[in-house]
A and B are shown apart, each in its own frame.
Chain A
Amino acid sequence: MGPSASSPLEQDLAALIVQTLKLKVDPATIQPEAALFGDGLGLDSIDALELSLAISQTYGYQLKSSDPEIKAIFSSLRALSNAIEKNRTK
Chain B
Amino acid sequence: MHDAPLIGPYNPDEVLAWETDGPRTARQFLSDVSRLADSLPDRPAVLNLLSSRYEFLVGFGAAMLRGQLTLLPQSRAPQTLRRIAGDYHESYCLTNQDEPVEGIESVVLRRHGSIAGWPKRIPHIPLDRVAAIAFTSGSTGQPMPNRKTWGALTAVARATGARLGLKTGERAAVVATVPHQHMFGLEASVMLPIMHGFVMHAGRPLFPADIRDALAEVAGKRILVTTPLHLRACVTEGVCVPPVGLILSATAPLSRSLAQEAERHFQTEVHEIFGFAEAGSVAERRTIDGDRWRPLDTVRLVQDRTVWVVHADYLPVPVRVPDRITVDADGRFVVHGREVDQINIAGHRVSLGDLNQKLLEIEGVQDGVFFLPDEGADLVTRLIACVVAPGKTVEEIQQGLRTRIDPVFLPRPLLLVPRLPRNDTGKLPREALLKLAEQHAKRLSHEA
Whether A65 lies near B205 (C-beta < 8 A) is yes
Residues on B with beta carbons closer than 8 Å to the beta carbon of A20: 418
Residues on A with beta carbons closer than 8 Å to the beta carbon of B163: none
Whether A53 lies near B233 (C-beta < 8 A) is yes
Within 8 Å of chain A (Cβ to Cβ): is B124?
no
Residues on A with beta carbons closer than 8 Å to the beta carbon of B230: 49
Whether B233 lies near A45 (C-beta < 8 A) is no
Whether A48 lies near B418 (C-beta < 8 A) is no
Q: Which of B60-68, B100-108, B166-174, B206-214 contacts A (4 or more CB under 8 A)?
A: B206-214
Whether A49 lies near B213 (C-beta < 8 A) is no
Interface residues of B in 230-288 (CB under 8 A from A): 230, 233, 236-237, 239
Residues on A with beta carbons closer than 8 Å to the beta carbon of B229: 46, 49
Within 8 Å of chain A (Cβ to Cβ): is B3?
no
Query: CB < 8 Å: which of A44, A56, A65, A66 contacts B237?
Result: A56
Residues on B with beta carbons closer than 8 Å to the beta carbon of A52: 207-208, 233
Whether B422 lies near A64 (C-beta < 8 A) is no
Whether A64 lies near B418 (C-beta < 8 A) is no
Nearest B-chain residue to A20, judged by Cβ? B418
Query: CB < 8 Å: which of A24, A45, A46, A50 contacts B418?
Result: A50
* Chain B min CB distance to A18 (Å): 11
Whether B233 lies near A49 (C-beta < 8 A) is yes
Q: A45-B424, A50-B419 are in contact. Are A22 and B207 (CB under 8 A)?
A: no
Whether A49 lies near B439 (C-beta < 8 A) is no
Within 8 Å of chain B (Cβ to Cβ): is A62?
yes
CA distance A89 to B317 in the complex (A): 58
Within 8 Å of chain A (Cβ to Cβ): is B417?
yes
Query: CB < 8 Å: which of B237, B417, B422 contacts A53?
Result: B237
CB-based A-B contact count at 8 angstroms: 52
Residues on A with beta carbons closer than 8 Å to the beta carbon of B418: 20, 22, 50
Whether B213 lies near A22 (C-beta < 8 A) is no
Within 8 Å of chain B (Cβ to Cβ): is A17?
no
Whether B236 lies near A65 (C-beta < 8 A) is no
Q: A20-B418, A22-B418 are in contact. Are A62 and B237 (CB under 8 A)?
A: yes
Total interface residues on B, using CB and 8 Å?
A: 23
CA distance A57 to B238 in the complex (A): 10
Within 8 Å of chain B (Cβ to Cβ): is A63?
yes
Whether B206 lies near A48 (C-beta < 8 A) is yes
Whether B207 lies near A63 (C-beta < 8 A) is yes
CA distance A48 to B230 in the complex (A): 12
CA distance A80 to B206 in the complex (A): 17
Residues on A with beta carbons closer than 8 Å to the beta carbon of B208: 52-53, 56, 62
* Chain B min CB distance to A69 (Å): 14
CA distance A46 to B20 in the complex (A): 22
Whether A65 lies near B439 (C-beta < 8 A) is no
Whether A66 lies near B424 (C-beta < 8 A) is no
* Chain A min CB distance to B435 (Å): 9
Interface residues of A in 18-57 (CB under 8 A from B): 20, 22, 24, 44-46, 48-50, 52-53, 56-57
Residues on B with beta carbons closer than 8 Å to the beta carbon of A24: 439, 442
Within 8 Å of chain A (Cβ to Cβ): is B334?
no
Query: CB < 8 Å: which of A22, A45, A48, A62 contacts B209?
Result: A62
Residues on B with beta carbons closer than 8 Å to the beta carbon of A64: 207, 209-210, 213
Query: CB < 8 Å: which of B236, B237, B424, B442 contacts A46?
Result: B424
* Interface membership of chain B positions 340-374, coded 1 if the CB is closer than 8 angstroms to chain A and 0 otherwise: 00000000000000000000000000000000000
* Chain A min CB distance to B97 (Å): 16
Residues on B with beta carbons closer than 8 Å to the beta carbon of A57: 236-237
Nearest B-chain residue to A48, judged by Cβ? B206
CA distance A83 to B209 in the complex (A): 16
* Interface membership of chain B positions 366-393, coded 1 if the CB is closer than 8 angstroms to chain A and 0 otherwise: 0000000000000000000000000000
* Interface membership of chain A positions 48-90, coded 1 if the CB is closer than 8 angstroms to chain B and 0 otherwise: 1110110011000011111000000000000000000000000
* Chain A min CB distance to B182 (Å): 14
Within 8 Å of chain A (Cβ to Cβ): is B327?
no
Residues on A with beta carbons closer than 8 Å to the beta carbon of B213: 64, 66
Whether A66 lies near B439 (C-beta < 8 A) is no
* Chain A min CB distance to B51 (Å): 12
* Chain A min CB distance to B81 (Å): 17
* Interface membership of chain B positions 193-220, coded 1 if the CB is closer than 8 angstroms to chain A and 0 otherwise: 0000000000001111110010000000
| Contacts beyond the supplied A44-B424, A52-B208, A65-B207: 16 A-B pairs with Cβ under 8 Å | A22-B436, A24-B442, A46-B229, A46-B423, A46-B424, A49-B206, A49-B207, A49-B229, A49-B230, A56-B237, A62-B239, A63-B207, A63-B209, A64-B207, A65-B205, A66-B213
Residue contacts A-B, CB under 8 angstroms, 9 given: A45-B424, A46-B229, A46-B422, A49-B230, A50-B418, A53-B208, A53-B237, A62-B239, A64-B210
Top 7 closest pairs, chain A to chain B, by CB? A62-B209, A64-B209, A65-B210, A52-B207, A63-B207, A65-B206, A49-B233
